[in-house]
Structure 1
C-alpha cells in the first residue's frame, strides 16, 4: 500500500489563499508602489539636494539677514520696547553706545554698517568710525555720539536700524520694487532717477518675448523642412541646426562680437559693397540690438527641435485629404496642419522664453549698458557680496516665470507639451 506524503504549507500562504481577492490586490498594489518609490528614490534625493534645497535657501536668504541684528542686541531690545518711537531718546543712544562697544570688541562694525548701508548709502563708514571711538563715549550719550558725527541724528538711519534689528526683513524685496522707507518709516517710491529694478524687470520680459517671437518665425520653416525633406538632406540640415551645441557658448558670443562691432566683418562688408558709408557704420554691439541678435542665434535650436518633433509625426495624408475635399493650401495649413503643431510651438516658446529670461553671460558681453537684463543685476549683487539682494531679485524672476508657466498651463495645458 502506497504511503501518502503530506507537504507542509506555510501558514502565511494558507492565510493569503483565504483572503478576499480585493485585499490581495490591494496588498499587491501597495508592494508595487513601494518598489516604484524605491526606484525613484535616488532621483528624488538628487533633485532635493541640487534643486529644492538651493531654491529654499535662496528664498530664505532673501528674507533673512542678521548682519545688524547679531551685532546690536541692545538696540534690538530698545526697539522692541519702543516700537512707535521714531526719534531716539537718551536710552536709545545709550543702547547704541553699548552696541558700538560690542561691535568694536567682536569686530562687527563693518558687517553692521554694511547691512544699514543697503538702505542708507554711506552708513558703513559711519559705523566703523564710531566703533573705533566707542570706548571714549560717556553720558550723556546723545551728545557724545552726535559729537562724533551729526549723521547719527538722521531719522533714516534709525528707521533702517529699526527694520534691521530683526534678522527677518522685507527690505530687500522693497529695494527690488524700487520702494524705500521714508524718514517717518512709511513706504515711498525711490527717486525717479534711481528706479532701476522694475524697469529692468519689464525690459527683460519684453526682450525675452521679442527673442522668442523671432526664434519662432525662424524655426517654423526650418522645422518644416526637416520634417519634409528626404532623409539625407534632412540629416544634413539637422547637423547644421545642432552645430552650435558643439561650440562653447563663450566662443560663439565672442565670434559675434568680431562680426558685429563697428570695425567688424559685417560693417566692413556693407562699406565695401557701398551700402553704407564709412561714417555710417551700424551700431550692432553693446546695445539691445546686439543682445537680440546673439541670443536668437544661441536659442534658435531650442525652438527648432520641439517643433520638429511634432511635425515629423503629422501624417501627410491629412493635407492631401483636405485638398481633395476642396481646401486651398492656406486653408489646409491654417485649419489642418498648424493646429497639430501647437504642442511643439508651445514647448519651444516656453523653453526659449525661460532660457532667455535667465541669460546673463551673453548680455554682459554684447549688450553693454543698454542691453543688460535682470539677471545681470543678480550677478552684480552676488559678486558684490549682497547675496540677500541677489536672492530677492532671483525670487522675483522665479515668480515671474512661474506665473507665465501657470498661464501656459491654463491656456494650453502642460500635458500637451511635446519636447521630443
Structure 2
C-alpha cells in the first residue's frame, strides 16, 4: 500500500503575506465605506447648507454691502467729480467745474435721471433736490455749445446757491462709492464741513428709537415670562385631559392669521371698543381712554401674540422634571417656596432662557403689529426701516439701520449668555 503524500503547510512568510493581504483589503474596504458614508452625509446636509447660504447669509451680506455702497452720484456725474478732485474745499469752485456740472445736468435732464441725483444730494444737504431739478429743467432748453462756452456763468445765473461751498462739499463727499455716512446718520451723527464727525443738528430720532425698541422688547419679554411661567407650570402638572385642552388653547393663535389677531386688538382698544365700553359700564372711568395707537397698545398686542413662544419652551422643560424632587425637598424640612427656588426653578432655567431669547429677538424685529396698533407713539425701529425702503427709497440708510440692529442683537445675546446664561446662574 502506497504511503500518503504529506503536503507541507504554509510557511511563516506565506502566512504573513496572506495576513497582510487581508489587512490591506480590509483597510481598503473600510476606507471605501467611510468615503461612502461621508458622501451620503454631505448629500443630506448640502440642501440645508445651501438654503442657509441663500436665505440667511446672502441677504445679510447684501444688506451689509448696501449699507456702505452708494454709487449713485459716482455713476451720474463722473466728469464733474473728476474736475472737482483738485478743489480745496474753500470758496466756489472754478468756472471749469461749474461748466462741467452744467453739462452733466443737461445730460441728466435728457436721460431723466436728474431726479435721482437730486434725491441723493438732498440726503446729504436737505433742500438740494428742488435746486437740482429746477436747474436741470432750465439747462435742458439751452444749446450744448452755449453751455460748453459759458456754462459756469449760466449755472450761477439760474440760481446763486450753486456758489455755496457747502453744496460742493456735499457733492465731493458723495463722490465716493463706499462711505460710512449712512451709519453716521443711523447714529444721529454727521460730518461737519471740515470733515469732523459731530452730532446731527437736525432731528435726532434713530438712537432714541433704538432705545425705545429695546425697552419695549424687554417689557414684552418680562410680561410673557410673568404670564407664561405659571401657565406652563400648571400645564406640566395638570391631568393629561386638562393639559391637552389648555395646550390647544395655547396653540390656537397659530391657526389664526397675524393680521386678524392684530385687527382684533384694534376693535378691543379703540375709543368706542370693548375695553372702553366695559370700563365705562362698571364706573372705572367716565370717558374713553386713549389706548389705541399708543405704546401701551403695542405692548399688549405683542405680548398676546408672542406668549406662546414663551409657553412652549417652558412647558417642554417642565414636563421633563420629576415632581418627586419637590416632594423630597419638602419631606426633608424645606418650606414650599425655598424648595421651589432652590430645586425647581434652577431646573427650569433652560426653558426660561430659551423662551426669553425667542420672545425678545422676535419682538425687536416686529413690524406689522406696531404699524397697525402703535401709531406714531408705539412704532419701533423696524417701522422706520420699512419707511426708508418703501417710501423714501433710501435703501442704503435702511440697510445701515438693519445692520446696526443686527449688531445690537448679537452684542446683547453675548452679554446675556456671559452674565445671565443658564450656566452662570447660581442658587444657594
TM-score (norm 2): 0.87
1:273 matched to 2:282? The reply is: yes
Tell me if structure 1 keeps the 8 A contact 2:102–2:152: no
Instruction: State the number of aligned residues.
Output: 402
1:155 matched to 2:165? The reply is: yes
Sort the Cα spacing of 1:144 and 1:306 in 2 relative to 1 into closer, same or farther, 3 A: same
Q: 1:63 corresponds to which residue? A: 68
Q: 2:53 corresponds to which residue? A: 48
Q: Mean alpha-carbon deviation: is it higher for 179-188 or for 16-25?
A: 16-25
- Alignment of structure 1 residues 210-359 onto 2, 5 Å: 210-277=219-286, 279=287, 281-359=288-366
Residue 413 of structure 1 and its aligned partner are, at CA, apart by: 5.7
Residue 139 of structure 1 and its aligned partner are, at CA, apart by: 4.7
Q: Mean alpha-carbon deviation: is it higher for 53-62 or for 330-339?
A: 53-62
Sort the Cα spacing of 1:185 and 1:326 in 2 relative to 1 into closer, same or farther, 3 A: same
1:35 to 18, 34, 40: 40
RMSD of Structure 2 on Structure 1 (CA): 2.6
1:391 matched to 2:399? The reply is: yes
Q: Deviations over 1:67-119 (max 9, x none)?
A: 21101111222344447667523332233223223323433211111111111
Q: 2:15 corresponds to which residue? A: none
Tell me if structure 1 keeps the 8 A contact 2:188–2:205: yes
TM-score (norm 1): 0.89
Residue 140 of structure 1 and its aligned partner are, at CA, apart by: 5.0
Q: 1:362 corresponds to which residue? A: 369
Unaligned runs of 5+ in 1: 1-12
Unaligned runs of 5+ in 2: 1-17
Tell me if structure 2 keeps the 8 A contact 1:159–1:184: no
SS at match of 1:370: coil
Q: 2:417 corresponds to which residue? A: 409
1:118 to 118, 123, 137: 123
Q: Distance in 1 between matches of 2:244 and 2:112?
A: 65
Tell me if structure 1 keeps the 8 A contact 2:103–2:148: no
Tell me if structure 1 keeps the 8 A contact 2:190–2:200: yes
Q: 1:92 corresponds to which residue? A: 97
Q: Distance in 2 between matches of 1:43 and 1:360?
A: 27
Q: 2:218 corresponds to which residue? A: 209
